Every structure is written in structure tokens, then in C-alpha cells.
Structure 1
Amino acid sequence: MNSPTAQPAESYNPYEPPKADASAALRPEERSRLRLASSDRRLVNLVVDYMGLMLFTFLVGVIFGLLGGADVFEKANDTLLGLVMMFAYYASMEAIFGATPGKLVTGTRVVMEDGSRAGLGRIALRTLCRFIPFEAFTFLTRRGGAPVGLHDRLSKTRVILVRGSDDAR
């Protein structure tokens, strides 16, 4: 018989998610090996994500229409509605998956400067920084040969290459 003070043996669960130290940051020498995404990949991200944002907004509109809430879209300020949809699209995708559909297509993902996974707070800040007027023009300046936009710098995140070969920058 088992004693009342005996600890239960840890059982193997094949459906349990893998355990990893999510707070572990890369050492400086490993950080320098992060391959930043090229301008071309970032541009493809933008184009694919723009189409994804339009599809996302359409689907949300259809769902609201089916649920009888179409008047919400009709009465809403178009600019404000667009900003809310953009925030919902980018923040949810990057916070949950670490990538948007555009980043999945190009084999890139969002990480912290040290290579660790970006948390919800950083992703929210990154997404809010996209609303800064003329923010897109900050990609015209380069740091270390790779494009780093203002929303990357302010949120201390980077878009890195996780699949494929390095591009000519």
C-alpha cells in the first residue's frame, strides 16, 4: 500500500506540450548569429499581410453580419475601425504564433533583440508603433545592413529569418 506521504510518480503524458525555458536569452555570440530578414522579405511580409488584413476584416464583418451586428460597422468611424482591425490582426497573430501569415510565407518571425520570444506587451507596443505617421519610411535607413523599422526599434524586437538562405541585402 502507498503511504499517505508518498509523492505520486510523475507519469508520462504524450500529449503534454514540450517544456522549455522561455525566459532563456541568447548569449551575445549567439545573438550575433540571428539572421535579420532582408528588405525584400519584409516587403513581401507587408504585401501578404495587407491582403491578410483585408481578408480578416472581411471575415469579421461577415461574422458580425450573421450575428446581427452589421450596424456596428455602419455606424463606426472608418479610420478607427481600420486601426482596431489592424491592431487585432497584427497583435493576435504575432502574440500567439510569433509570426503573421506574411512572415510564415517568407520564413521569418518576430523575436526580442536577444532572440527570446516576444511577449504580449512587446507585441502590443510593436503594433501600436505601426500607427506612427510615416513609420514605414523608417525602413529607408538601415542598421548593420538589414532593415530595422521604428516599430522594431521602439519595441526592442526584430524580424529574423528562420527558414531559407540569407538574401542579398
Structure 2
Amino acid sequence: MRKFLKIVEDHKASLGIRFLNNLIDLFILIILNLIITMISDILYALTDIEYFYFYGNSAIWWQFLIGNINCFIYYFSMENFLNGRTVGKYITGTKVISTNATKPTTQQIIYRNLARLVPFDGLSFFGVNGWHDSWTDTRVINIKNYESEKQAKSEIDGLGKKEIA
């Protein structure tokens, strides 16, 4: 069982900011998918390999599968290699951290992104936390407010201690 720190819970990003993160990242995913589709069409024209044809011109179930794979790769690579941040989180000044105020593990990020594939995960935010946050013990926080409170607590803890010159 993970430790839940009050400072993390106090600085969770609002529902509006989370929605804005989602819209920005969705826009980025659409752009990336359009680019990949154009590249696939060009590669199909050059090579006649059927995979490239199916990428942009296939049934809805295939596009759904490929879309989910692209979504998983995008969120996993961004959150895992860019310190818990996606393009949307950079723009809104938020990031993902564990409930114990540490950087999320790779396993947490994998599970977090697998939970995004669950139908109606986006609607789960009308509760206290979204499923992909609750199931993985992670939170999206406002970095500026979190860091300023963390520094203030550190300064208070340092009062009365001798400084070594």
C-alpha cells in the first residue's frame, strides 16, 4: 500500500485543467496520426505493402486498434521520459507524480496508460479521481503551487538550525 501525502492531494490539478490537458494531447495525437497516415499512403504507393494501405484505409476496428496503440505509445513515452509530462501538461504547468510525492515508476506509467484504454475512463473524472489515477496511485498536480508549498515547508523545517559556513 502506498503512502498518500496531503501535499500531493492539496495541489491536484482541477477538472478544467485536466480537460484542457486532454484536449491539447488529443489535438497532438490527431496531428501525429494524420502525419503517420500520410507517410503510410506514400509508403504504400512506393512499396505496395498491404500494411501501409490498411493503416489509413481500413475498417473502423483496425483504426480503433491502431489509434489505441498510438495513444499508448504517446502517453507512455511522454510521461516516462519527460518527467511525468505531456505536451498538454507542459502548456498547463502540470505533471504526474506518485501519491507519495515521488516520480512515478515505469510500471505505474504503463498501468496508467493501460487504464486509459478502459471504456469510459474519461467519464471517471466526475468522481474524486479518474480511474487511471486511482488504480495506479498517481496524481496530476499543479507544479508551481506544489513546489512553492514544498519550499515553504522546507524553509520552516530549517528554522533554528545552525548554518555551517
TM-score (norm 2): 0.71
**SS at 2:7's partner residue?**
coil
Alignment partners' CA distance in 1, 2:98 and 2:90: 17
Q: Residues 65 and 43 (structure 1 numbering): CA distance in 2 closer, same or farther, change over 3 Å?
A: same
Identify unmatched segments of 5+ residues in structure 1: 1-26, 143-147
Moved more, 63-72 or 133-142: 63-72
Is residue 2:105 matched to residue 1:119? yes
Is residue 2:80 matched to residue 1:80? no
What is aligned with 1:58? 34
TM-score (norm 1): 0.69
What is aligned with 1:156? 137
Paired residues of 1:107 and 1:164 also in contact (CA < 8 A): no
Q: C-alpha displacement at 1:67, in angstroms?
A: 4.6
Deviation string for 1:36-78 (max 9, x for gaps)? 1111110110111110111121233344445556325145711
**SS at 1:114's partner residue?**
coil
Q: C-alpha displacement at 1:93, in angstroms?
A: 0.8
**SS at 2:139's partner residue?**
strand
Q: Residues 62 and 119 (structure 1 numbering): CA distance in 2 closer, same or farther, change over 3 Å?
A: farther
Paired residues of 1:126 and 1:154 also in contact (CA < 8 A): yes
Is residue 2:67 matched to residue 1:93? no
Amino acid at match of 2:35: L
Alignment partners' CA distance in 2, 1:87 and 1:47: 16
The structure 2 residue matched to 1:71, chosen from 53, 60, 64, is: 53
**SS at 1:158's partner residue?**
strand
Alignment partners' CA distance in 2, 1:65 and 1:58: 11
Paired residues of 1:56 and 1:89 also in contact (CA < 8 A): no
User: How many positions carry a matched residue from both structures?
Assistant: 132
**SS at 1:139's partner residue?**
helix
Amino acid at match of 2:28: G
**SS at 1:59's partner residue?**
helix
What is aligned with 2:123? 137
Identify unmatched segments of 5+ residues in structure 2: 147-165
Q: C-alpha displacement at 1:128, in angstroms?
A: 0.7
The structure 2 residue matched to 1:36, chosen from 12, 15, 22, is: 12
